[in-house]
Structure 1
Amino acid sequence: VNQLGIGNYLNFKDRLRHKNGKLKYVEGSAHRLDAQNIQVMFNDVTSRVVAEQQIAEERNFVFHSLDVMPGIFYVINHEGRFLRWNRQTEEISGYTAEELRHITSAEMIAPELRAKHKEFVASILSGARWEGEAELCCKDGRRIPYYYVVRHFKWQGEDCVVGMGVDLTERNQAERLALTYLKEMQSLSARILESQEEERRRIARELHDELGQGLTATLLSLKNAEEQMGESPMVAQVKHASSIITILTQQVRALSLNLRPSVLDDLGLVAAFRWYIRERVESAGLRVVLSVDKDLPRLPALQETACFRVLQSAFTNILRHAQAQEAQVSLRQADGNLVLVIHDNGRGFDVKAARQTALAGKSLGLLGMEERVRLVGGVLEITSAPGQGSEVRVVLPMG
């Protein structure tokens, strides 16, 4: 009033209560017309004030959310200067807010990448996007693995770079631990398979050398007794016993060969393949075409055993389930590897369903083949489809 009394204009902001009880935000101006009159004008700015309040609330919500997010957040300009960051950036990096205002983002990346940092920022400002792993270099020298998402961003009318990062330390530690466990399990699995093969070899040898020879000696004794008995009524019983011993001898020999064919140890993989296909597969009525590279060298025992067991398992499945009339087996050298391919013209099967069945513990043949091959550094692939036959392909290092 005093200001108006001396003729000054007065501008003001205020809140007025409407007759409906709601508050109205107004901007007003007043000036003295004459000694008795004052002119007052009001402008309703309620919509603008409410909008500004909502924007301020949303900005506060965003900034608060960024401060409580588990990762780091930052906005930098074309020079790499920090314009905005969250509390985690300070806490994790060890830099104070004042320090962050005076350094560039290049000081928080690995030294070997700093030379190309300006080029990287320029590419993002040009519209490129980047996601990937990089280290956050802290004030105390720590280097923490982070996964970053970096984008172009408008900040207060300026082209900027916005980045967010998530700490990968726990994930990397978990991966390293899992890898350690995996290596330990593979080592244990390899030792178990080696022990199994050694036990098979020992049992096969004992069956052949002890039980087999004992049965052979018994058979010779019975033959000798039969010759000395002449026309004795006991001759028929001795012949019957001899035939039983003969069958048992054949069964013991077959059991010994199935456990661990001596030809594999004595003559190698190719000879073992030929023996197995002739004695176990073609004798069951399946025609097999075997193709082998000339002068194929002997492999380390573990590789030869793995390869032979895959052949054995594959033909067991073919004879039981495939209803095939023919199969092809090839054994080749290629780029320092041994490549085994077993193909049949049977009814085929759903590989994915078979693997799920194996994982459920209902069938171990498929997993057993994969495990054997993997333990000697090889790769096994199985391709098949109902009505289209199947193919087993193994690639093993020859070293």
Structure 2
Amino acid sequence: MKYDPLNHVAAHFLRDTQPVRVASRNERDLLRLIWKSPGIERSDLTEPLDLTQQSLHRIVARLHERGMLVFSHSETRRPGPPSPELTLRKEWCLTLGISVNVGSIGLCLMGFGEPLEKMEIPQAGSSLSAEMERIEAAVEELLARRGAKRRDVLGVGLAVAGHRMLETAFNCPLPLAHWSLIDLAPLLGEQLGLPVWADNVARTAALAEAIFGVGRDVADFAYIAHLHGYGGGLVSGGMPFRGNFGNAGEFSVLFGRQDYEERPALGVLLEHLRSKGRSNLTLRDLKDEKLMDWDGVTEWVDRVTPAHNRAINAICAIFDPALIVLGGELPHSLARMLIERTDFNNLPRHGVLRDVPRLAVAQITDAPGAIGAALIPLFETVL
């Protein structure tokens, strides 16, 4: 039977009316508006939600009774009866985000829409069961830091590096072969005793950037994830666009096998620097902002610039975003070097150039995939 994480959400998070779910459509619209505008007055919600005052008061009262909202006294003095200010109660639920990358596994514990704790553990070995056990131990440590239990967790978002296949299976890079072509959500769900949603790590990083980073005020942007590989995500209308097969933003597809070593992927940079005598380097070492001064780095940037420009111009031609973000695990110094070398295919017509997107360095650089993954259970159930 197909795995549905909603069937595994704990009963105390569910509404007591039919159909059984965490929140109704109107409740979700209201909760998301409050999340985006904490402290908004109840009277200011009627118009954007297109609800009668009676319906709005009823929904707000029900959410408050469930412990999802906090009322506070409004300091605004206006005619008419006082209207309370509304915020989400961060303690109502926790969510977990887990991102599986080559060399590292990131974890994020999130309150009701607010990151609380982060952790990184090594990704090593070739045993999926062993890595899931280490993930479970890390989850217990994160919960212990907040004095929380697993019953406090609404759900888990799992982000995996690799092409999405059927359901929650991914085709991962060679170092993650043991994570490949396996329906991962039910396996991890059984390990943790929690509902699990899964997506590609580049798309969850793009979601983190959309909500908390440089993309928060941009409806449509592209996110390039410089990880061991070279992928990305597209954000449309403020939310990730996945495409028919769940692989929109897989920018490596732009390159044939003969061009694969010319992509600006950090795994390629790692091998290049090892050939220059730094044999003990790991992907984690490439986060060093001083690496732009290392022998061979400028040479590598110049070598991959044509591939970088191919990707940038393909994004412009197909998606036409307002912004392109260089992110993943790319240090800011290296991102700026690529931005400086960007060349748009923008020939003037009748003496006029077309508009091109702004290029920016990602703001969310610490566990972006895990932060975005922790948002997935919320967007699937309450926001």
Q: What is the TM-score of this pair, normalised by structure 1?
A: 0.21
Q: What is the TM-score of this pair, normalised by structure 2?
A: 0.21
Structure whose residues are more often helix by fraction: 1
Structure whose residues are more often strand by fraction: 1
* Larger Rg computed on CA atoms: 1
